[in-house]
Amino acid sequence: MRIAFAADGADKNANISNVGARAPFFLIFDNTQLIEVIKNPFAIGGGGAGWSVAYMLSEKHVEIFVAGNIGVNMQSALSKYGIKYVQKTGSVIDALNELIK
């Protein structure tokens, strides 16, 4: 199962970002293995970040996206691409362990 986290830092001990599409980093896990760290190219800029991020995550075969807050537009975009989403706070590693159980 591929899970992507919006994160404030570039490793599994980082906190989950409170912003979904504008998070500084995206951490992609395949089960419990961190397989990719992406510095968010959409963190700064105009509108439409949620759609762009959702498309990028779909290209990475992400099945679940986790962030502290996921806006309505991003929720729609994730749903369009068949990506489930979860709003959580705390550390990435704690949330990952909870989701993988």
Query: How many CA within 13 A on the CB side of residue 43?
Result: 13
Domain residues for the domain of 53 are 2-85
Q: Which residues are registered as beta bridge partners of 28?
A: 4, 36
Is residue 70 situated within a structural domain?
Answer: yes
Amino acid, res. 18: N
- Smallest Cα–Cα separation from 14: which of 92, 69, 97, 80? 92
**Model confidence pLDDT, tens digit, residues 12-59:** 999 999 999 999 999 999 999 999 999 999 998 777 899 999 999 999
Is residue 71 situated within a structural domain?
Answer: yes
Residue 101's pLDDT band (cuts 50, 70, 90): confident
Number of domains present in the structure of the chain: 1
User: Distance of alpha carbon 50 from its chain centroid, rounded?
Assistant: 11
Q: Is 27 helix (H, G, I), strand (E, B) or coil?
A: strand
pTM over 0.75: yes
**What local confidence, expressed as pLDDT, does residue 46 receive?**
76
Q: What is the CATH number of the domain that holds 12?
A: 3.30.420.130
Is residue 53 situated within a structural domain?
Answer: yes
